[in-house]
Structure 1
Amino acid sequence: MSHNRRSVLGAALALPAALTVGGLVTAAPAAAAGVDAGAWTPLVLEPGITPSAGATPEVRLVTLAGTPFLQARGLVTCNLASDAKIGRLPDGFAAPTAFVRGVAPRNNSQGVNACRLEINPSGSVNVYGGNAGNPITWIQLDSVQTVWH
């Protein structure tokens, strides 16, 4: 019997890996496991908030094992020198029952490269973090994924 830490650790890690590989071979596809992805729907943007060509800002709900998640994608250009409303959820899109928050990349200025995106129960989409000395000039929505409630 070996008391070498490296060989003991290797043996301990090899067993779960071997069991996992067998589980992956017999795993059911995600669609069969209760994943429901809704259609992408464009956000309704405020004046002065411009969608980038080929990157229309859109949202959808994805339900995974009974839990809904909001996903967003797209890119907007703007000039936000303060916290601001950038748009609202599309007509017919279920508004959240509480504030939903996420983080989105923005222009990197003075070491700040992210802003807070928030959707309130009335369906308004707001962005926080811009100021006169460090305005937000673009926002990338692709990383926004959050639990929807």
Structure 2
Amino acid sequence: MSHSRRSILGAALGLPAAVAVGTVATATPAAAAAVDATAWTNLELETGITPQPGATPQVRTVTILGTTFLQARGAITCNLAADTKIGTLPAAMTPPTWYVRATSPRNNSQGINACRFEVNTAGSVTIYGATSGNPITWVQFDSVQTIWR
């Protein structure tokens, strides 16, 4: 099973236009029931990781026709000089069955303005890409949307 958004998009674009248009044109409101989103829940942040005012880091899952996606929002202030665990998924959220990764905006330093957001199979959330010569001082999560399972 592929976990690539590119392969899912490629498959969708590979559909004949008539089939896609016909399906959309005949869709009923009941088709919307195929989308299920959980409530936004706060990440459990590690000591030294501070939510930005009005932007508490939160996660949720959204299932669309059997494919579940992780979405995140919010932002943190930090001082990361190495790859660092910044938090843990909420206790009510089942951890993924494999690593989940996405790219997040960070402070622009030495021309680098993105870092890796990763959730492991234990539910730990880690930020990758910081070094002592290129520390991460903030990370924004609104762009995180990736296949969960």
Same fold (TM over 0.5): yes
Which 5+ residue runs of structure 1 have no aligned equivalent? 1-16
With normalisation by structure 2, the TM-score equals 0.81
| 1:51 pairs with 2:51 | yes
Deviation of 1:24 after TM superposition, in Å, equals 6.2
1: CA distance between counterparts of 2:28 and 2:111? Answer: 44
For 1:32, what is the secondary structure of its paired residue? helix
1: CA distance between counterparts of 2:31 and 2:85? Answer: 35
CA gap of 1:71–1:29, structure 2 versus 1, over 3 A, is: farther
Residue in 2 aligned with 1:10? none
CA gap of 1:29–1:60, structure 2 versus 1, over 3 A, is: same
Residue in 2 aligned with 1:7? none
Question: Map of 1:108-127 to 2, 5 A cutoff?
Answer: 108-127=108-127
Deviation of 1:23 after TM superposition, in Å, equals 7.3
Letter in 2 for 1:51: P
User: What is the percent sequence identity of the aligned residues?
Assistant: 65
Structure (1 or 2) with the larger CA radius of gyration: 1
For 1:93, what is the secondary structure of its paired residue? coil
Question: Map of 1:19-58 to 2, 5 A cutoff?
Answer: 27-29=27-29, 32=32, 34-58=34-58
Q: Does structure 2 conserve the Cα–Cα contact (< 8 Å) formed by 1:85 and 1:127?
A: yes
Q: Does structure 2 conserve the Cα–Cα contact (< 8 Å) formed by 1:33 and 1:65?
A: no
Deviation of 1:30 after TM superposition, in Å, equals 8.4
Deviation of 1:92 after TM superposition, in Å, equals 1.3
For 2:97, what is the secondary structure of its paired residue? coil
Q: Which moved more, 1:28-37 or 1:116-125?
A: 28-37
Report the aligned-residue RMSD. 2.2
Deviation of 1:32 after TM superposition, in Å, equals 2.0
2: CA distance between counterparts of 1:52 and 1:37? Answer: 25
CA gap of 1:111–1:30, structure 2 versus 1, over 3 A, is: farther
Residue in 1 aligned with 2:68? 68
May I ask how many residue pairs the two structures share in their alignment? 134
For 1:82, what is the secondary structure of its paired residue? coil
Q: Deviations over 1:77-97 (max 9, x none)?
A: 000000000000011111001
Letter in 1 for 2:39: A
Which 5+ residue runs of structure 2 have no aligned equivalent? 1-16
CA gap of 1:119–1:22, structure 2 versus 1, over 3 A, is: closer
Q: Which moved more, 1:23-32 or 1:38-47?
A: 23-32
